C-alpha cells in the first residue's frame, strides 16, 4: 500500500481499489498458463459440494446481477468490478480444484512458506511498514500449526513480530487470534472427546465469555493502552456494553455508521418484491451525503460521497447487491465454514488441510465487518478450492 501511495496523491482507504487491482493483475500473471488452459465444468455430480454450489451459484447470479445493475443505472465502473471479482475468483477456484496436487502444501513448502512470513514480518517491523491484514492472519495460522506439531520455539520466532505488529492494527485481528487459540484448545479436547462433545464444550465456553464480557474487556484495558488503535476499539466496545451507544457522540461514529448502513440496506431491500428477491444488482450505491457523518467513508468513495458502494457488514452487503439470494449465499458460506471447523478438529497429520480450513474460517471473520475483503482477496477463492472434497 505504501508503494502504491508513492504513485498517487491519495492515501488511506482511497488506495484500496488500486491495491486490489494490482493484486488481481499479479495473481492473473502467476496463473496465466492455467487461466489460458482452463476448462470450466459443464456439469456436476448429483451430490455437489457446498463449495461448488456456492462458487457456481454466485458466478451464475453475478451474471444476472450485471443486467439488474445496468437496468437500475448503477455506475458502470462498480457494475464491472463487482462482476470481475466474482468471475476471477471462480476461475481461480476451478483452476485449483482441478489441479490440487500441483499446488498442495506439503511439509517442505510449509517450511519455506513459514520462513517467508517470518522474513516479511521482520521487514515490516524494522522498516516501520504497516503489515497487510492477510500477513498477520497467515502468521497467526502458521504459528498455530507449528505449536500443534510441537515446534513451539519456531512458532515463538513468528509470534514475536506478530504481536509487535498486531498492536497497531484493528480489533478483528485480535478476535481472530483468540479464535485460533480457542480452536487450539478445542482441538486438544477433541483427542479425548467426540466432535459433538467438543462443540458442546465450545458453546458453554462462549456463553461464559458473553456473560463475563464486561470484566474481560476491563482486564484487557489494564494491559492495552486505551489510546492506541486496538485499545481505542476495545474501550469503545466496553462503553457500549456498559452504557449503550450515544449516537450524537463522535466517539462512536464508526459503530453508528455500520448501524446506519444496515438500516439503509433493509429499507432498500424491503422497498419492493423484486429488490427483496434480487437486490439492487451489481454496482449498487448509496447516497452517502444524506446518511453518513463519517468523513473517512465519504472521502474514500471512488466516485464521490453520493455514490458510496462499500457496505461494510458482510450479510448486508450481499443483501444489498443480491437480495434474498445473497442472504442464501451467506448461509451457504456459514455452512462451509462450519464444515471447515469440524475438519480442523478431526485432522491430525495433513498440514495443508488444517492450514486452508483455518484460513477460510479466519478470512470470513475478518470480512464480517469489511465485506469487500472477502471476494476481492484471491486467496479466499483458493482456500475454498482446497477445502472442497
pLDDT tens sequence across 315-338 = 999 999 999 999 999 999 999 999
Distance of alpha carbon 6 from its chain centroid, rounded?
Answer: 27
- Helix or strand holding residue 235 (H, E): helix 229-243
Bridge partners, 164 (sequence order): none
Question: Over 80: is that where the pLDDT of 287 sits?
Answer: no
Cell of 253: 461514529
Q: Report the candidate in 196, 216, 167, 134 with the shortest Cα–Cα distance to residue 345.
A: 196
119-141 pLDDT, tens digit per residue, is: 999 999 999 888 889 999 999 99
Cell of 120: 516479511
Q: E strands along 231-297, which residues?
A: none
Distance of alpha carbon 7 from its chain centroid, rounded?
Answer: 27
369-383 pLDDT, tens digit per residue, is: 888 899 999 999 999
Bridge partners, 94 (sequence order): none
Q: Average pLDDT over the chain, rounded to whole?
A: 85
Question: Over 60: is that where the pLDDT of 155 sits?
Answer: yes
Cell of 132: 497487510
36-84 pLDDT, tens digit per residue, is: 887 766 666 667 889 999 999 999 999 999 999 999 999 998 999 999 9
Each domain of the chain, given as residue ranges in start order, spans 1-33, 48-387
The answer for residues whose C-beta is within 8 angstroms of residue 190's C-beta and 6 or more apart is 198, 345, 346
User: CB under 8 Å, gap of 24 or more: what pairs does 110-115 form?
Assistant: 110/142, 110/145, 110/351, 110/352, 110/355, 113/142, 114/142, 114/146, 114/154, 114/158
196-224 pLDDT, tens digit per residue, is: 888 888 899 889 988 888 888 888 877 77
- Residue 212 exposed, middle or buried by CB count within 10 Å (0-12, 13-18, 19+): exposed
Cell of 308: 458510496
Please give the Cα distance from 359 to 339 (Å, whole number).
13
User: CB under 8 Å, gap of 24 or more: what pairs does 347-356 form?
Assistant: 351/105, 351/106, 351/107, 351/110, 351/145, 351/149, 352/104, 352/105, 352/106, 352/110, 352/386, 353/386, 354/145, 354/148, 355/105, 355/110, 355/141, 355/142, 355/145, 356/105, 356/382, 356/383, 356/386, 356/387
Which whole number is the average pLDDT over 232-249? 78
pLDDT band at 243 (very low <50, low <70, confident <90, very high): confident
Look up residue 308 and give its DSSP letter. B
Amino acid at each position: 500500500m505504501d508503494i502504491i501511495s508513492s504513485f498517487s496523491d491519495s492515501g488511506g482507504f482511497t488506495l484500496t481499489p488500486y491495491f486490489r487491482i494490482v493484486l488481481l493483475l499479479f495473481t492473473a500473471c502467476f496463473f496465466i498458463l492455467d487461466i489460458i488452459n482452463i476448462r470450466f465444468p459443464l456439469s456436476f455430480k448429483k451430490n455437489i459440494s457446498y463449495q461448488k454450489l456456492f462458487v457456481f451459484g454466485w458466478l451464475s447470479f453475478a451474471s444476472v446481477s450485471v443486467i439488474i445493475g445496468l437496468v437500475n443505472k448503477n455506475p458502470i465502473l462498480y457494475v464491472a468490478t463487482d462482476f470481475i471479482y466474482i468471475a476471477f475468483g471462480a476461475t481461480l477456484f476451478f483452476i485449483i480444484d482441478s489441479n490440487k496436487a500441483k499446488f498442495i502444501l506439503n511439509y517442505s513448502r510449509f517450511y519455506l512458506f513459514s520462513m517467508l512470513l517470518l522474513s516479511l514480518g521482520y521487514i515490516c517491523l524494522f522498516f516501520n511498514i504497516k503489515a497487510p491484514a492477510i500477513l498477520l492472519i497467515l502468521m497467526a495460522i502458521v504459528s498455530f500449526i507449528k505449536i500443534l506439531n510441537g515446534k513451539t520455539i519456531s512458532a515463538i520466532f513468528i509470534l514475536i513480530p506478530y504481536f509487535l505488529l498486531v498492536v497497531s492494527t484493528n480489533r478483528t485481528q485480535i478476535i481472530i487470534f483468540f479464535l485460533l487459540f480457542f480452536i487450539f484448545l478445542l482441538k486438544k479436547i477433541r483427542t479425548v472427546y467426540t466432535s459433538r462433545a467438543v462443540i458442546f464444550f465450545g458453546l458453554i465456553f462462549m456463553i461464559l465469555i458473553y456473560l463475563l464480557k464486561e470484566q474481560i474487556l476491563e482486564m484487557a484495558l489494564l494491559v492495552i493502552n486505551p489510546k492506541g488503535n486496538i485499545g481505542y476499539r476495545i474501550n469503545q466496545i466496553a462503553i457500549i456494553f456498559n452504557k449503550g451507544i450515544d449516537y450524537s457522540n463522535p466517539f462512536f461514529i464508526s459503530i453508528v455508521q455500520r448501524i446506519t448502513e444496515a438500516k439503509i440496506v433493509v429499507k432498500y431491500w424491503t422497498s419492493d418484491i423484486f429488490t427483496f428477491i434480487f437486490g439492487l444488482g451489481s454496482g449498487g450505491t448509496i447516497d452517502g451525503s444524506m446518511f453518513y457523518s463519517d468523513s473517512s467513508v465519504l472521502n474514500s468513495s471512488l466516485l464521490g460521497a453520493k455514490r458510496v458502494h462499500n457496505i461494510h457488514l458482510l450479510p448486508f452487503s450481499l443483501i444489498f447487491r443480491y437480495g434474498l439470494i445473497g442472504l442464501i449465499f451467506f448461509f451457504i458460506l456459514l455452512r462451509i465454514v462450519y464444515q471447515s471447523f469440524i475438519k480442523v478438529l478431526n485432522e491430525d497429520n495433513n498440514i495443508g488441510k488444517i492450514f486452508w480450513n483455518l484460513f477460510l474460517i479466519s478470512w470470513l471473520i475478518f470480512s464480517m465487518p469489511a465485506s469487500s475483503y472477502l471476494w476481492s482477496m484471491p486467496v479466499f477463492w483458493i482456500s475454498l478450492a482446497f477445502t472442497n472434497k
